[in-house]
C-alpha cells in the first residue's frame, strides 16, 4: 500500500536513533544524547507551521535485558529537553523474534501514532535512516523519506530512489515543497 500524496501533510514522524539523534547502540544514558545536524531547526520549522511531530522507535534492548523502560524514558526526556516536545511517542520494546505488529518494518507504531493524533496515515510522513523505516511508512500508507547515514546499506538507498534526502533539512524540503 503506497501513500496518497494528495492529502495535506499534518504530521511528521521521526525515527529516533540515527535520524533525530546520533545512534548510540542500546543507549540508556541521557548524557550521551547528541542531536543530528539540523534536527532542532527542522523541528522548530515544523512546529511553527502547525504540524504535529512524533518519534517512532524500535528499542529491542528492553526485551533483551540491555535497557530498562526507565532508561529509555530518561533518554527520551533528554531528547525533548534538547529538541522540544513531541506530540506523540511510540516505542516498541520487542525483539525481532517476538513477532509483534509494532516493531518496524511492521506499520503498528506509525498507525498507533496517527490514531493518537487523529489523522489518517496518508496525512503523515515518516523520516528514518534505514530501509525498515521506509517499509514501515509504506505499510502504514504514510509518506517515507530516507536520510542515509554511514550505517545505511547501499541497497536500502537504491531501493528508496526518489525518497532519499541528504539530511533532515532536505527531507523536510522534499515533504513541504515536493520533489525538485
Catalytic-role residue among 15, 98, 133, 167: 15
User: 17 catalytic, yes or no?
Assistant: yes
Orientation of helix 39-48 relative to helix 69-83, angle to 10° = 70
146 pLDDT band, cuts 50/70/90, is very high
Query: Across all residues in the chain, what is the average pLDDT?
Result: 94
Is 35 in a helix, a strand, or coil? strand
The predicted-structure confidence for 41-58, as pLDDT tens digits, reads as follows 999 999 999 999 999 999
The predicted-structure confidence for 94-111, as pLDDT tens digits, reads as follows 999 999 999 999 999 999
The model's pTM: 0.94
Q: How many beta carbons lie within 10 A of that of residue 57, not counting itself? A: 22
Can you tell me which residue has the cell 498507525? Answer: 111
In total, the chain counts a number of residues equal to 180
Can you tell me which residue has the cell 512524533? Answer: 54
Catalytic-role residue among 4, 17, 98, 129: 17
Alpha-helical (H) ranges within the chain are 39-48, 69-83, 108-117, 131-140, 154-159, 168-177
User: 98 catalytic, yes or no?
Assistant: no
6 pLDDT band, cuts 50/70/90, is low
List Cα–Cα distances, 172 to 45, 62, 104, in angstroms: 9, 31, 22
Are the C-beta atoms of residues 33 and 78 closer than 8 Å to each other? yes
Q: In what order do the strands lie in the sheet with 143-146?
A: 88-92, 52-58, 11-15, 124-128, 143-146
The separation between CA 179 and the C-alpha centre of its own chain, rounded to angstroms, equals: 20
Amino acid at each position: 500500500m503506497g501513500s496518497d500524496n494528495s492529502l495535506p501533510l499534518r504530521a511528521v514522524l521521526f525515527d529516533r536513533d540515527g535520524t533525530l539523534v546520533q545512534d548510540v547502540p542500546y543507549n540508556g544514558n541521557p548524557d550521551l544524547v547528541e542531536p543530528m545536524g539540523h534536527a532542532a531547526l527542522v523541528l522548530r520549522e515544523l512546529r511553527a507551521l502547525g504540524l504535529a511531530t512524533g518519534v517512532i522507535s524500535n528499542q529491542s534492548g528492553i526485551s533483551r535485558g540491555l535497557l530498562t523502560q526507565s532508561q529509555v524514558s530518561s533518554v527520551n526526556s533528554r531528547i525533548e529537553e534538547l529538541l522540544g516536545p513531541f506530540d506523540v511517542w511510540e516505542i516498541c520494546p520487542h525483539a525481532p523474534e517476538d513477532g509483534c505488529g509494532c516493531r518496524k518494518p511492521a506499520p503498528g507504531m506509525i498507525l498507533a501514532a496517527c490514531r493518537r493524533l487523529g489523522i489518517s496515515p496518508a496525512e503523515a510522513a515518516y523520516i528514518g535512516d534505514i530501509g525498515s523505516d521506509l517499509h514501515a511508512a509504506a505499510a502504514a500508507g504514510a509518506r517515507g523519506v530516507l536520510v542515509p547515514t554511514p550505517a545505511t546499506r547501499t541497497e536500502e538507498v537504491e531501493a528508496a530512489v526518489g525518497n532519499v534526502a541528504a539530511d533532515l533539512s532536505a527531507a523536510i524540503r522534499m515533504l513541504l515543497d515536493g520533489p525538485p
